[in-house]
Structure 1
Amino acid sequence: MKKGLLIAVSASALLLTSCKKSESGNKSVIKTDSTETLVTDNNGKIDSVTQSSSTIDVNGQKTEKTDFVYKATDGTLVKVIFKNDPKESTVAITSNKKTFTLPKTETKGEETIYKKDDMTARVKGDSLHLEQGNNVIELKRTKI
């Protein structure tokens, strides 16, 4: 009888002290925003590739960084960062934990050429041709 009474008292104490459900929900859950984010290029067109872009304004001078992921013909993924600031424009190519930074040397129509020592990067549209000595690597922007 004592065990039954102890169980009944424990159950009623649990019921009385249990947490109440409220309309506000769990405060630890992050609500998602239903808005869609579209990435546009400089012409205002919707860009279908994954990219990250940031513009920093320091003393009236704007520095723009744009990150892309490119894919080589062998399937290797390469991170490419284009940086434009008032002093210079560069491209940084990262693969296998190595980064090569090449300054912009010239622009011919739709093609931009970055060059340092024996390495040359030619960017045209969604493709990047990387040349080092006799080696040529073809890269295409990925759509993730």
Structure 2
Amino acid sequence: MIKKIMAVCLLSSLVIACKKEGNKGVVKTDSANTEILADNGAVDSTITYNTSVNGTKTVKTDFVYKATDGTLVKVIFNYDPEKRSVSITNNNKTFVLDKTEAKTNETTYEKEDMKATVKGDSLIIHQGDNIIELKRTKI
């Protein structure tokens, strides 16, 4: 009889322990926020992230864009907090423009007479009187 009472008590304590919401002694780790913010503090929607199986986000920095005439252009975004920039490569020429402004849905890069504006999948380059419109490809 005592063994039955002890077994019931042990079983009851296990059931009660299982209803607890986790181990209170375990310290929760604060996952680092890898989302890059625009100058106004909102998440910069012009930046694409890769998400791993475990949910970790990394920044995808290089893309291929296509001009309206079919020309392919390689674009590399540098998200270094010290100096954010974009590198645009076409015909073995690379132009590096520094980030000058970021809004929630638009980021602007400039250097000398060249200006690039990123809006979603579009990259619009202004160089003097020339305007070059590029669309991100799925290559």
TM range (shorter): 0.5 to 0.7
1:106 aligns with 2:106: no
SS at match of 2:85: strand
Q: Is the 8 A contact 2:49 2:60 kept in 1?
A: no
Q: In structure 2, how many angstroms separate the alpha carbons of the residues matched to 1:96 and 1:73?
A: 16
Identical-residue share of aligned pairs (%): 67
Comparing both structures, which one devotes a greater share of its residues to strand?
1
Q: In structure 1, how many angstroms separate the alpha carbons of the residues matched to 2:132 and 2:81?
A: 30
Q: TM-score, normalised by structure 2?
A: 0.58
Q: Is the 8 A contact 1:81 1:93 kept in 2?
A: yes
Structure with the larger RCO, 1 or 2 (CA within 8 Å, 6+ apart): 2
Q: In structure 2, how many angstroms separate the alpha carbons of the residues matched to 1:65 and 1:138?
A: 21
Q: TM-score, normalised by structure 1?
A: 0.56
Q: CA RMSD in A?
A: 2.1
List structure 1 segments (4+ residues) > 4 angstroms apart after TM superposition.
none
Structure 1: gaps of 5 or more residues: 1-40, 45-54, 56-63
43 and 66 in structure 1: CA distance in 2 versus 1, 3 angstrom threshold: closer
- When the two structures are aligned, how many residues end up with a matched partner? 87
Q: In structure 1, how many angstroms separate the alpha carbons of the residues matched to 2:98 and 2:91?
A: 21
